[in-house]
Structure 1
Amino acid sequence: MIKAWALVKMPQVITKAAGVTYGKRQKALEHLARYAPEQISIRLERERNNEFDRNAVAVIATVQGKGSYCMGYLPRALAAFVAPLMDAGKAVQGLFRRVKGLYEPFMNYGLEIEVKL
């Protein structure tokens, strides 16, 4: 669990997006892995009306000149801290780090991002 004091002392956190196996997100991550990191940007978008998590923060990846796709969400514990900050108008930035996984045939892709306050 992310503690508020940890984010105050260290205003960036490296985390993995949650929910990356839902829908067509694995295919989207496979596609995303083909692009250079400089071509990929991450946007964090608050979803106040999300029926599963009132603090939901979507992780949206954009490839330059290609379009955007929701790759998943911030982990629940991190979103519980970040969502009120976003609601209060604080700038919260998402940065692409890498697509992880699929080292073995049974493994899924994952998305590692950096969250900066």
Structure 2
Amino acid sequence: MNRSIIFRNANKLVKQGYSRSEALKKAWALAKLPEISVKVRGTAATDKRQTALEHLTRYKPELVMFRIAAEPTNPADMNAVGVIATVKEKGSFLIGYLARELAANISKLLRAGLAILSTGTVTGGYEPYMNYGARVNLKFA
């Protein structure tokens, strides 16, 4: 574990209103967390998302990156956290969202400036008329 990252995260939490001791405890706890694997919600909400996920399966996995981004201006949920897939040198697309319960906590951490590493995979689409989906793995840096 990189202590400088942990202390940097703790300092960001202090700026959010945590006491120094609370911030250090929380930063260490986050650093010790294992990777979390979660299903991306809303992948079947629009045909565009399904088409984008289908296109992602055509690329080599090392060319596709997944990241998460807080969306405080989202009219449905101010704590929404979007999942964005990016193909190297091609572009990015919002493929869905984290579950509302998880997003409420993750969005606070993102707004505090904590680094969260994410990887992902496209799932489904094995049979005709079967929807595509996605999973992301989140790890606190």
TM-score band, normalised by shorter chain: 0.7 to 0.9
2:43 aligned with 1:28, yes or no? no
8 A Cα contact 2:33 2:139, kept in partner:
no
Which structure has greater strand proportion? 1
Tell me how far 1:43 sits from its aligned partner.
Answer: 1.7
Secondary structure at the aligned position of 2:55 is classed as helix
Runs of 4+ in 1 over 6 A off after TM superposition: none
Q: Residues 1-117 of structure 1: matches in 2 within 5 Å?
A: 8=30, 10-23=33-46, 24-96=48-120, 98-117=121-140
Q: Normalising by structure 2, what TM-score? A: 0.72
Q: Distance in 2 between matches of 1:10 and 1:108?
A: 31
TM-fit CA distance, 1:113: 1.1
% identical aligned pairs:
47
Give unmatched runs, 5+ long, in structure 2: 1-28
Q: Distance in 2 between matches of 1:58 and 1:69?
A: 10
